Amino acid sequence: MGKASSRRRRGFAYERELARELWNRGFACMRAPASGAKVRRRAQPDLVAMKNGVILVFEVKTRRREGHVYIDAGQVEKLSEFARRAGGLAFIAVKILDGRGWRFVPVERLARTRGGSFKVGLEEVERGFRLRDLEVLVSGGYRSLDEYLGQGKDTNSQKDA
Amino acid sequence: MGKASSRRRRGFAYERELARELWNRGFACMRAPASGAKVRRRAQPDLVAMKNGVILVFEVKTRRREGHVYIDAGQVEKLSEFARRAGGLAFIAVKILDGRGWRFVPVERLARTRGGSFKVGLEEVERGFRLRDLEVLVSGGYRSLDEYLGQGKDTNSQKDA
């Protein structure tokens, strides 16, 4: 098995892990087909999680401690378009491989690189939402992500979920 | 290829068709993995379609002109549980193979058979929602399915979408 294929399999394993984590927190989760790359490329994100009528849409990335996460511009556009159609919120879900768990970065916080793709910087990942924050977000306490980002930021720096 | 496998492939073709129809009407659509039967059995419906923050969850069935549609009790329970978690609405999507197109029967309208499974009778299929009704349902004109079923029924007997 080649490197790309092995990386791809690892990616699917983390998508499954995230789906399980969210399911255990009461979300309904829908994962994209692991096969059928053509269908995926067309439109579907890695994972959609829903609770209380709130729709969260994810692209899943892994990251070692050091280094940024780079995302193809087309992938970000498709993710945003899907969330816009659904009336949901789009996140880059970053699995940090040093044991610190998941961070969720709203696409609104992504920075454009000179090359035209998108980057999630080290600091943005650290500042990202945690699983606990997603639970608060769908609990009905906030009407929009803007409101959450504005009012709920402080909860963000607390202990991991 | 065996009969069951051929039927399964035909089922996927209709799931794709329905996803395309809803996508063309502005929905975000997420289909379950065609492979990975184990994952599917656990929890995922055939299709989730979302628009304006409204979540519609589907099991897809085909039906020739004559005859009812039977659905396994476990499948209905999983579909209902998924919709409950999501805060969405659950439907049996019936593709009528004589050219009349799609009908969508809310799980609340399913009848239990003596054997314990569920049945969608001929009349229930005829009375089912059409694509046009789903568009109205997510347009924000109705707050709940009950309200829609109560007030919107008459639109149901009009020309197909």
- How many whole angstroms separate alpha carbon B156 and alpha carbon A92? 40
For residue B34, give the nearest of A16, A33, A88 by CB distance.
A33
Residues of A within 8 A of B140 (CB-CB) are none
Residues of B within 8 A of A82 (CB-CB) are 28
Chain A residue with minimal CA distance to B88? A53
Average pLDDT, chain A: 81
What b/e readout covers B76-94, taking b as 16+ CB neighbours within 10 angstroms?
A: bebbeebbebbbbbbbbbb
Please report, in tens digits, the pLDDT of each residue of chain B (161 residues total): 456 666 666 778 899 999 999 999 999 999 987 654 544 445 789 999 999 999 999 999 988 776 788 999 999 999 999 999 999 999 999 998 887 789 999 999 898 888 889 998 888 888 899 999 999 989 865 556 666 665 444 444 444 44
Q: Complex ipTM, two decimals?
A: 0.82
For residue B55, give the nearest of A34, A39, A55 by CB distance.
A55
Asked if B34's CB is within 8 angstroms of A88's CB, the reply is: no
**Contact predicate A50/A19, CB 8 Å:** no
Full residue range of the structural domain in which residue A76 is found: 3-157
Domain count, chain A: 1
**Contact predicate B47/B82, CB 8 Å:** no
CATH number at residue B127: 3.40.1350.10
- How many whole angstroms separate alpha carbon A88 and alpha carbon A76? 14
* pLDDT at position A123: 84
* pLDDT at position B107: 93
Tell me the per-residue pLDDT of A121-143, one tens digit each, with 9 for 90 and over: 888 888 899 999 999 989 865 55
Asked if B52's CB is within 8 angstroms of A54's CB, the reply is: no
The answer, yes or no, to whether residue A34 has pLDDT greater than 60, is yes
Higher pLDDT, A95 or A10: A95
**Contact predicate B93/B79, CB 8 Å:** no
**Contact predicate A56/A89, CB 8 Å:** yes
Residues of A within 8 A of B53 (CB-CB) are 53-55, 86-88
